[in-house]
Chain A
């Protein structure tokens, strides 16, 4: 508000001389067009928090989850795999707020430790995926020709495999050499980039035809710089959305793998694994399955809502006044 006021004050007539008058004339003609004040990304995000409470709450949930995961050893009332065989399969109580499982382990403690796995498996592979996808997508889209053909056929092959099947194979292969969480991160990263590459390529294809890329070429910008500084920033809104949607799907993949018994191995805790282990008590002690399931749902929903909110907030074309 203040900014627009200032700008109208700016050109009050007080200048003398023909040249100055002409300049003022020129200025006022341009100023008569709509002036909007510049809005930075931080400001946009702050505005999103104000106008989109769902996204703000989601962001808060994610932050709280991350903090809980990081400080799990400090918050957790028990050890991760601490068994108390005298207190097996208890309902929620003051000592065990989410109850205990069939080995007498505290469910709340395991949820906290499981959050470490889930968030790590959600956030890290999605980031790696993004980097690989951007690299191949830009290369294929911008270079075109045989490079495009080779990369995209490879992407097609990657996408034609059922993700879960490919994951299982990779888990078996990698499982011999590395820790199970690392295996999951690696296999999800190496599998999921294909979708990102496709999105980035499609955007690059249309963006490289635009006049502003042509203008960049006409001032002598190198191809690699055109790709990274002129085309890539245009993809960012969709990449943010892609990322925030990829995090929950990675979390779900990990849960599924662990549920199937080929992901995180006991005694380590993982939400998917906990759902798996509690399925035999589903009818007698439903809270055992409820706590990890609700955790998965909460995180996945939070990331999805945040992604939606960010997309609306960062879209340069959707400037709200």
Chain B
């Protein structure tokens, strides 16, 4: 069964078993990444985005673990693989870029060595010269100037942007099918951010790989994603193609996020914020997790968790009102700022 999807996550539940109780970080996430597209996963801090990524990469550590669900990658369920089988896939078929380029490179190893490591652990470094040549080639592809000299540089000798390029080189050197980028530009300033995003998009187009970008920055999403998943308190609350989502957000949380983006020409004195705080994941409220902060919430919302309903061709929203009140959109959150 070959599908158009490279990665399919089915009903993934991941929890952290803390001393205070079970923290349900990922609650029944269904997520599909088509081949060759850039998919965004958006949500605020602590909503489970990174835990989802770590679940895919099997980077969960002790108190955290996958409770149930399947992660199908090319027809194989990643959750059932042995450590050895997973090691073979990671780096070669799926790789990951981390948030902090300052800390995701080993300070005492030369960056060339670290990028070469990907080749080496997969037994693809035939000879030292060959590996070095490949790494330098990759450095040039990701736009590192003076690649030859940088090969034997230590991370602290590089700027943040260069380090993130090194990370990208490390993740991309084996031309993986899927790249997971966990907040790849959060630690960078905006000019470098734009460069890195452009680079990722170009590489994606060149090699036909899929990318899962995890971010809390809607600007990043708008920049490069083709399809977006919005996460809140461990649930996927909405997913849609990029233009659909930005033009017609259905879920009140997404609408709130959109309304919170400061706009040029808007009232600089007033920045919209969603009232309330994220619910404690140790004690999730019954019903819709957003009901406590939602201005349109009704009695029913606080009792039962709404299903993800289809509102458009490829647009799903976890809100009871998603279908009916189209007139609400734009007005409910956007009106006050005119």
A222 contacts chain B at the CB level, 8 A cutoff: yes
* A23-B143, A30-B161 known; A220-B89 Cβ under 8 A: yes
A38 touches B91 (CB 8 A): no
B156 neighbours in A (Cβ, 8 Å) = 36, 316-317, 319
* A211-B100, A214-B59 known; A11-B145 Cβ under 8 A: yes
Nearest CB on B from A3, distance (A) = 8
B45 contacts chain A at the CB level, 8 A cutoff: no
A219 touches B117 (CB 8 A): yes
Partner of B121, one of A3, A23, A225: A225
Choose the segment among B64-72, B101-109, B313-321 that binds chain A (4+ C-beta atoms closer than 8 Å): B101-109
Nearest CB on A from B302, distance (A) = 39
B108 touches A236 (CB 8 A): yes
A220-238 contact mask (Cβ, 8 Å, vs B): 1 or 0 = 1110010001100110100
A27 touches B143 (CB 8 A): yes
B159 neighbours in A (Cβ, 8 Å) = 30, 33-34
Partner of B108, one of A144, A211, A218, A316: A316
> What range describes how many residues of A lie at the interface?
35 or more
CA distance in complex: A194, B104 (Å): 31
A34-68 contact mask (Cβ, 8 Å, vs B): 1 or 0 = 11111000000000000000000000000000000
Partner of B96, one of A3, A10, A218, A317: A218
CA distance in complex: A31, B159 (Å): 9
CA distance in complex: A34, B160 (Å): 10
B191 touches A29 (CB 8 A): yes
A103-136 contact mask (Cβ, 8 Å, vs B): 1 or 0 = 0000000000000000000000000000000000
B98 neighbours in A (Cβ, 8 Å) = 211, 214-215
A222 touches B104 (CB 8 A): no
CA distance in complex: A23, B156 (Å): 24
CA distance in complex: A216, B59 (Å): 11
Closest to A40 in B: B152
CA distance in complex: A214, B167 (Å): 12
Partner of B162, one of A30, A210, A222, A236: A30
* A29-B192, A219-B90, A219-B171 known; A212-B106 Cβ under 8 A: yes
CA distance in complex: A217, B54 (Å): 11
B149 contacts chain A at the CB level, 8 A cutoff: yes
CA distance in complex: A266, B169 (Å): 65
CA distance in complex: A16, B95 (Å): 35
A33 touches B104 (CB 8 A): no
Interfacial residues of chain A within 187-225, with CB under 8 A of chain B in the complex: 210-222, 225
* A33-B162, A211-B103, A221-B117 known; A316-B154 Cβ under 8 A: yes
* A29-B191, A230-B109 known; A218-B152 Cβ under 8 A: no
CA distance in complex: A241, B177 (Å): 45
A33 neighbours in B (Cβ, 8 Å) = 159-162
A265 contacts chain B at the CB level, 8 A cutoff: no
B152 neighbours in A (Cβ, 8 Å) = 38
B146 contacts chain A at the CB level, 8 A cutoff: yes
* A30-B145, A225-B121, A316-B156 known; A217-B192 Cβ under 8 A: no
Partner of B195, one of A29, A31, A316: A29
A217 touches B106 (CB 8 A): no
A280 contacts chain B at the CB level, 8 A cutoff: no
B118 touches A211 (CB 8 A): no
A214 touches B104 (CB 8 A): yes
B88 neighbours in A (Cβ, 8 Å) = 220
B121 touches A219 (CB 8 A): yes
Partner of B90, one of A29, A212, A218: A218
* A10-B145, A211-B103 known; A217-B154 Cβ under 8 A: no
Interfacial residues of chain A within 293-318, with CB under 8 A of chain B in the complex: 316-317
Q: Which of A11, A211, A221 has the most CB of B within 10 A?
A: A211
CA distance in complex: A164, B311 (Å): 79
A233 touches B109 (CB 8 A): yes
B285-315 contact mask (Cβ, 8 Å, vs A): 1 or 0 = 0000000000000000000000000000000
CA distance in complex: A31, B171 (Å): 23
Nearest CB on B from A39, distance (A) = 8
A211 neighbours in B (Cβ, 8 Å) = 98-100, 103-104
B162 touches A220 (CB 8 A): no
CA distance in complex: A216, B87 (Å): 10
* A10-B146, A221-B121, A234-B107 known; A215-B167 Cβ under 8 A: yes
A163 neighbours in B (Cβ, 8 Å) = none
A15 contacts chain B at the CB level, 8 A cutoff: no
Closest to A25 in B: B195
* A38-B153, A211-B100 known; A219-B170 Cβ under 8 A: yes
A79 contacts chain B at the CB level, 8 A cutoff: no
Closest 4 CB pairs of A and B: A33-B159, A219-B91, A220-B91, A211-B104
28 A-B pairs with CB atoms under 8 Å apart are A3-B149, A7-B146, A11-B145, A26-B143, A29-B192, A29-B195, A30-B145, A30-B159, A30-B161, A30-B165, A30-B192, A33-B162, A38-B152, A212-B114, A216-B117, A218-B171, A219-B91, A219-B95, A219-B117, A219-B170, A220-B87, A220-B91, A220-B118, A222-B87, A225-B121, A230-B109, A316-B108, A316-B156
